[in-house]
Chain A
Protein backbone atom coordinates (compact mmCIF):
# COMPACT_ATOMS: atom_id res chain seq x y z
CA UNK A 1 0.00 0.00 0.00
CA UNK A 2 1.38 3.38 -1.00
CA UNK A 3 1.44 5.92 1.82
CA UNK A 4 2.46 9.55 2.06
CA UNK A 5 3.45 10.70 5.51
CA UNK A 6 3.40 14.39 6.25
CA UNK A 7 5.17 15.99 9.17
CA UNK A 8 4.58 17.73 11.36
CA UNK A 9 0.82 17.22 11.61
CA UNK A 10 0.40 20.59 13.31
CA UNK A 11 2.65 23.63 13.38
CA UNK A 12 2.05 26.94 15.07
CA UNK A 13 4.65 29.66 14.67
CA UNK A 14 4.98 33.41 14.95
CA UNK A 15 4.58 35.64 11.94
CA UNK A 16 7.96 36.33 10.33
CA UNK A 17 9.50 32.97 11.18
CA UNK A 18 10.59 30.36 8.65
CA UNK A 19 9.28 26.82 8.52
CA UNK A 20 9.63 23.57 6.63
CA UNK A 21 7.11 20.79 6.28
CA UNK A 22 7.83 17.37 4.90
CA UNK A 23 6.17 14.74 2.77
CA UNK A 24 7.74 11.27 2.79
CA UNK A 25 7.03 7.93 1.21
CA UNK A 26 8.71 4.63 0.48
CA UNK A 27 7.18 4.75 -3.01
CA UNK A 28 8.47 6.48 -6.11
CA UNK A 29 6.09 8.96 -7.71
CA UNK A 30 6.04 10.18 -11.29
CA UNK A 31 5.04 13.61 -10.00
CA UNK A 32 4.07 15.19 -6.73
CA UNK A 33 1.69 18.05 -6.09
CA UNK A 34 1.30 20.39 -3.15
CA UNK A 35 -2.15 21.70 -2.36
CA UNK A 36 -3.58 24.07 0.18
CA UNK A 37 -7.04 23.46 1.59
CA UNK A 38 -9.21 25.90 3.51
CA UNK A 39 -11.98 24.55 5.80
CA UNK A 40 -15.04 23.44 3.82
CA UNK A 41 -13.36 23.98 0.47
CA UNK A 42 -11.58 21.86 -2.10
CA UNK A 43 -7.78 21.60 -2.29
CA UNK A 44 -6.14 24.32 -4.39
CA UNK A 45 -3.11 23.34 -6.43
CA UNK A 46 0.08 25.21 -5.50
CA UNK A 47 2.77 23.44 -7.50
CA UNK A 48 3.78 20.23 -9.28
CA UNK A 49 7.27 18.79 -9.13
CA UNK A 50 8.35 16.13 -11.57
CA UNK A 51 12.11 15.75 -11.74
CA UNK A 52 14.22 14.34 -8.91
CA UNK A 53 15.98 17.20 -7.13
CA UNK A 54 13.70 19.81 -8.68
CA UNK A 55 13.20 23.05 -6.78
CA UNK A 56 10.31 25.41 -7.49
CA UNK A 57 9.64 28.77 -5.93
CA UNK A 58 6.29 30.44 -5.52
CA UNK A 59 6.98 33.84 -3.88
CA UNK A 60 7.95 32.93 -0.29
CA UNK A 61 7.25 29.23 -0.78
CA UNK A 62 10.01 26.88 -1.94
CA UNK A 63 9.17 23.33 -2.95
CA UNK A 64 11.74 20.58 -3.41
CA UNK A 65 11.36 17.09 -4.82
CA UNK A 66 13.77 14.49 -3.44
CA UNK A 67 16.41 13.04 -5.74
CA UNK A 68 14.73 9.63 -5.65
CA UNK A 69 11.25 11.15 -6.19
CA UNK A 70 9.98 9.65 -2.94
CA UNK A 71 9.82 12.74 -0.77
CA UNK A 72 9.29 16.46 -0.90
CA UNK A 73 9.52 19.52 1.29
CA UNK A 74 7.81 22.87 1.46
CA UNK A 75 9.72 25.76 2.99
CA UNK A 76 8.02 29.05 3.81
CA UNK A 77 10.16 32.10 4.42
CA UNK A 78 8.93 34.90 6.67
CA UNK A 79 5.53 33.33 7.28
CA UNK A 80 2.47 35.57 7.21
CA UNK A 81 -0.92 35.09 8.85
CA UNK A 82 -2.38 34.54 5.38
CA UNK A 83 -0.30 31.35 5.09
CA UNK A 84 -2.49 29.70 7.72
CA UNK A 85 -4.17 26.58 6.32
CA UNK A 86 -3.90 22.88 5.65
CA UNK A 87 -1.06 21.91 3.31
CA UNK A 88 -1.43 18.62 1.47
CA UNK A 89 1.00 16.73 -0.67
CA UNK A 90 -0.27 14.26 -3.27
CA UNK A 91 1.79 11.75 -5.19
CA UNK A 92 1.01 10.42 -8.64
CA UNK A 93 1.82 6.82 -9.41
CA UNK A 94 -0.84 4.47 -10.73
CA UNK A 95 -3.33 6.63 -8.82
CA UNK A 96 -3.22 9.72 -6.66
CA UNK A 97 -2.33 9.36 -3.02
CA UNK A 98 -2.85 12.23 -0.61
CA UNK A 99 -0.93 12.78 2.58
CA UNK A 100 -2.87 13.56 5.75
CA UNK A 101 -1.67 17.14 5.70
CA UNK A 102 0.13 19.66 7.87
CA UNK A 103 -2.13 22.14 9.60
CA UNK A 104 -0.24 25.41 9.76
CA UNK A 105 -1.18 28.27 12.05
CA UNK A 106 0.67 31.57 11.86
CA UNK A 107 0.23 33.79 14.92
CA UNK A 108 0.31 37.57 14.47
Chain B
Protein backbone atom coordinates (compact mmCIF):
# COMPACT_ATOMS: atom_id res chain seq x y z
CA UNK B 1 0.00 0.00 0.00
CA UNK B 2 1.38 3.44 -0.91
CA UNK B 3 2.57 5.51 2.03
CA UNK B 4 4.09 8.87 2.87
CA UNK B 5 7.76 8.66 3.79
CA UNK B 6 9.86 11.16 5.70
CA UNK B 7 13.58 11.64 6.23
CA UNK B 8 15.41 11.83 8.47
CA UNK B 9 13.57 10.08 11.29
CA UNK B 10 15.59 12.08 13.83
CA UNK B 11 17.43 15.37 13.43
CA UNK B 12 19.50 17.05 16.11
CA UNK B 13 20.70 20.57 15.42
CA UNK B 14 22.17 23.56 17.16
CA UNK B 15 20.05 26.65 17.75
CA UNK B 16 20.40 29.06 14.83
CA UNK B 17 21.17 26.37 12.28
CA UNK B 18 19.09 25.69 9.21
CA UNK B 19 17.33 22.34 8.81
CA UNK B 20 15.53 20.78 5.89
CA UNK B 21 12.97 18.07 6.53
CA UNK B 22 12.09 15.89 3.60
CA UNK B 23 8.90 14.12 2.63
CA UNK B 24 7.84 11.94 -0.27
CA UNK B 25 4.04 12.13 -0.52
CA UNK B 26 1.87 9.41 -2.04
CA UNK B 27 2.47 9.61 -5.77
CA UNK B 28 -1.01 10.48 -7.10
CA UNK B 29 -1.79 12.96 -4.33
CA UNK B 30 -2.11 16.63 -5.15
CA UNK B 31 -2.30 18.31 -1.73
CA UNK B 32 0.58 18.38 0.71
CA UNK B 33 0.79 19.47 4.31
CA UNK B 34 3.18 19.96 7.18
CA UNK B 35 2.18 19.65 10.82
CA UNK B 36 4.11 19.73 14.03
CA UNK B 37 3.47 18.13 17.39
CA UNK B 38 5.35 19.33 20.42
CA UNK B 39 5.84 16.51 22.92
CA UNK B 40 2.58 15.84 24.79
CA UNK B 41 0.63 18.44 22.84
CA UNK B 42 -1.83 18.42 19.97
CA UNK B 43 -1.03 18.14 16.28
CA UNK B 44 -0.76 21.69 14.88
CA UNK B 45 -1.28 22.66 11.26
CA UNK B 46 1.61 24.55 9.69
CA UNK B 47 0.98 24.82 5.98
CA UNK B 48 -0.83 23.34 3.01
CA UNK B 49 0.50 23.28 -0.55
CA UNK B 50 -1.29 22.75 -3.82
CA UNK B 51 -0.39 23.41 -7.43
CA UNK B 52 3.11 24.52 -6.49
CA UNK B 53 2.07 27.19 -4.08
CA UNK B 54 1.03 27.63 -0.47
CA UNK B 55 -2.74 27.49 -0.16
CA UNK B 56 -3.04 28.03 3.57
CA UNK B 57 -0.66 28.64 6.46
CA UNK B 58 -1.01 29.04 10.21
CA UNK B 59 0.36 31.77 12.44
CA UNK B 60 3.14 29.36 13.43
CA UNK B 61 4.43 29.34 9.85
CA UNK B 62 6.38 32.59 9.97
CA UNK B 63 9.24 33.88 7.83
CA UNK B 64 11.59 31.30 9.32
CA UNK B 65 9.68 28.54 7.56
CA UNK B 66 9.47 27.74 3.89
CA UNK B 67 8.24 24.84 1.81
CA UNK B 68 9.27 23.63 -1.58
CA UNK B 69 8.48 20.91 -4.06
CA UNK B 70 11.84 20.81 -5.82
CA UNK B 71 10.94 17.92 -8.12
CA UNK B 72 8.00 15.65 -8.87
CA UNK B 73 8.32 13.58 -5.74
CA UNK B 74 9.83 15.48 -2.80
CA UNK B 75 8.17 18.04 -0.54
CA UNK B 76 10.45 19.85 1.89
CA UNK B 77 10.10 22.03 4.97
CA UNK B 78 12.99 24.37 5.70
CA UNK B 79 13.52 26.12 9.00
CA UNK B 80 16.09 28.86 8.42
CA UNK B 81 17.32 29.60 11.93
CA UNK B 82 16.09 27.05 14.41
CA UNK B 83 14.99 28.00 17.91
CA UNK B 84 14.72 25.82 20.99
CA UNK B 85 10.93 25.94 20.73
CA UNK B 86 11.07 24.40 17.25
CA UNK B 87 11.84 21.06 18.89
CA UNK B 88 8.92 18.81 17.96
CA UNK B 89 7.77 15.97 15.76
CA UNK B 90 7.13 17.25 12.24
CA UNK B 91 4.63 15.32 10.17
CA UNK B 92 4.10 15.51 6.46
CA UNK B 93 0.73 14.51 5.02
CA UNK B 94 -0.79 14.27 1.59
CA UNK B 95 -4.26 13.89 0.14
CA UNK B 96 -5.86 13.40 -3.22
CA UNK B 97 -8.79 15.24 -4.70
CA UNK B 98 -11.85 13.26 -3.66
CA UNK B 99 -15.24 14.90 -3.74
CA UNK B 100 -18.36 13.83 -1.90
CA UNK B 101 -21.49 15.83 -2.45
CA UNK B 102 -19.43 18.66 -3.92
CA UNK B 103 -17.13 18.87 -0.90
CA UNK B 104 -13.50 17.83 -0.83
CA UNK B 105 -13.06 14.98 1.63
CA UNK B 106 -9.50 16.01 2.48
CA UNK B 107 -8.53 12.61 3.82
CA UNK B 108 -4.93 13.04 4.75
CA UNK B 109 -2.34 10.33 5.04
CA UNK B 110 0.49 11.03 7.40
CA UNK B 111 4.13 10.09 7.29
CA UNK B 112 5.95 8.63 10.31
CA UNK B 113 7.39 12.01 11.26
CA UNK B 114 10.78 13.57 11.85
CA UNK B 115 11.76 14.20 15.43
CA UNK B 116 13.62 17.53 15.50
CA UNK B 117 15.67 18.38 18.55
CA UNK B 118 17.17 21.85 18.78
CA UNK B 119 19.97 22.22 21.33
Contact = CB atoms under 8 A, between A and B. Distances in A.
Does B associate with A?
yes
Interface of A: 30-31, 33, 35, 37, 40-45, 48, 50-51, 88, 90, 92, 94-101
Contacts, number: 68
A50 B105 contact: yes
Interface residues of B, number: 28
Interface string B11-44: 0000000000000000000000101000001111
Contacts of A97: 45
A40 B108 contact: no
Nearest to A33: B107
Contact of B42 (A30, A44, A51, A99): A99
Contacts of B45: 95-98
A43 B89 CA distance: 12
A31 B105 contact: yes
A106 B109 CA distance: 26
Contacts of A99: 42
A45 B107 contact: yes
A23 B113 CA distance: 25
B107 A48 contact: yes
Interface of B: 4, 33, 35, 41-45, 48, 56, 58, 89, 91, 93, 100-101, 103-113, 115
17 contacts: A30-B103, A30-B106, A31-B103, A31-B104, A33-B108, A42-B113, A45-B109, A45-B110, A48-B106, A50-B105, A51-B100, A88-B43, A96-B106, A96-B108, A98-B42, A100-B41, A100-B42
Contacts of B4: 42
Given A50-B101, A95-B58, A100-B42, A45 B113 contact: no
Contacts of B89: 40
Given A41-B112, A43-B43, A101-B42, A92 B91 contact: no
A44 B103 CA distance: 22
Nearest to B42: A100
A52 to B, nearest CB: 11
